[in-house]
A and B are shown apart, each in its own frame.
Chain A
Amino acid sequence: MWTPIALSEDVAAGTAAPARLGGAEIVLWRDGDGLLQAWEDRCPHRGMRLSFGFVREGRLTCLYHGWQFDASARCRLIPAHPELKVPGTIRANPWHVRERAGLVWVADAADADALPTLPDDTPMRGLRSLAVRRPRAAVAAQTGIGAGGWIWRDGALIGLHGADDATSMLHLALPQSATAEARRRTMGEATALRDALEAA
């Protein structure tokens, strides 16, 4: 099951950002070439959030003790023991991750299903993510967003995921050709939707 959890443009090249999915903490990060990774947001050394870390030379570096992890999630360098050949057992816990239609999608199963059908031929650009203080099931019921976690409405793609038991996230994307006025209008409508959901 693939779930949209962020806007692609919210994870810039060479940076790391946190996300939550059903209470699970995830770090999203990109190397300098723009390749996106999604891992459990915990350094296997002392449990520090890797999203506090930094990206250098294609590796995510833990802020605590500087352990460096490459795109395969393997630890490649422990600065306190630079001569150590780090065993392959020391690695971060990766999620499956893909980008489509301006959103970041993750799945935790090795046999992750295919992504839902989206209008690939329409280049999309993320607009905004909104936190909603309502459980995912309640938001899905009121918006008509199905189990796939997304809906196409009034020219906008709306993704939905549950951050935790009480909080949901809406992710909006519009075609790259959308005008500034369309982006402003959609932003206003999304904010109104968020307020209505929280008032329900």
Chain B
Amino acid sequence: MVLYVSTTLFQHHGDAGNECRASEKGPDSLAQCHRIRMEGRFDAAGMRRFAEGRAALLDLAIDTLDVSPTRFDSRLSGDEILLGMFGMACLLGPSGCVVTRFESLPA
């Protein structure tokens, strides 16, 4: 089992190859892009609704790539701190969704 449960969830993986194009988040943004994959036991629709709602709340752009009862795969961009908050929120909730593996990779 791999579980990262700290606010370093979205720290840089090596060089700054995961910085988004400025056009994605506005000219003043230092947006980061990450691909996150979660495995576990999900209410797929509930997980998708939660993740996309939380991304909107945190002003993150999200592309949901794959959702199943055992897997959630997405690509996110936005402020690195807010990306960390997103990851923590997914690890903690929503009800009916248990995350057993969390991966964050530069997109």
* Residue among A46, A81, A89 making CB contact with B59, cutoff 8 Å: A89
Per-position 1/0 for A39-65, Cβ under 8 A of B: 000001010000000000000000000
Q: Considering only CB atoms, which chain A residue lies closest to B92 in the complex?
A: A46
Q: Which residues of A contact B57 (CB under 8 A)?
A: 44, 89-90
Which residues on B are within 8 Å of A, measured CB to CB? 7, 56-59, 79, 81-82, 92
**Chain B's nearest CB lies how many Å from the CB of A114?**
33
Task: Name 19 A/B residue pairs within 8 A (Cβ), A-sorted.
Answer: A44-B57, A46-B92, A80-B7, A81-B81, A84-B79, A84-B81, A84-B82, A87-B58, A87-B59, A87-B79, A87-B82, A88-B59, A89-B56, A89-B57, A89-B58, A89-B59, A90-B57, A90-B58, A90-B59
**Chain A's nearest CB lies how many Å from the CB of B18?**
19
A80 vs B57: C-alpha distance when bound (angstroms):
17
Q: Which residues of B contact A87 (CB under 8 A)?
A: 58-59, 79, 82
A191 vs B68: C-alpha distance when bound (angstroms):
57
A80 vs B85: C-alpha distance when bound (angstroms):
11
**Chain A's nearest CB lies how many Å from the CB of B45?**
20
Per CB-CB distance, the 9 closest pairs between chain A and chain B, nearest first, are A87-B59, A89-B59, A81-B81, A84-B81, A89-B57, A44-B57, A90-B57, A89-B56, A87-B58
- Report the interface size for chain A: residues with CB under 8 A from the other chain: 9
Q: Considering only CB atoms, which chain B residue lies closest to A84 in the complex?
A: B81
Q: Which residues of A contact B82 (CB under 8 A)?
A: 84, 87
Q: Which residues of A contact B92 (CB under 8 A)?
A: 46
**Chain A's nearest CB lies how many Å from the CB of B11?**
14
Q: Which residues of B contact A84 (CB under 8 A)?
A: 79, 81-82
Per-position 1/0 for A66-98, Cβ under 8 A of B: 000000000000001100100111100000000
**Chain A's nearest CB lies how many Å from the CB of B41?**
22
A57 vs B77: C-alpha distance when bound (angstroms):
33
A89 vs B61: C-alpha distance when bound (angstroms):
12
Q: Which residues of B contact A80 (CB under 8 A)?
A: 7
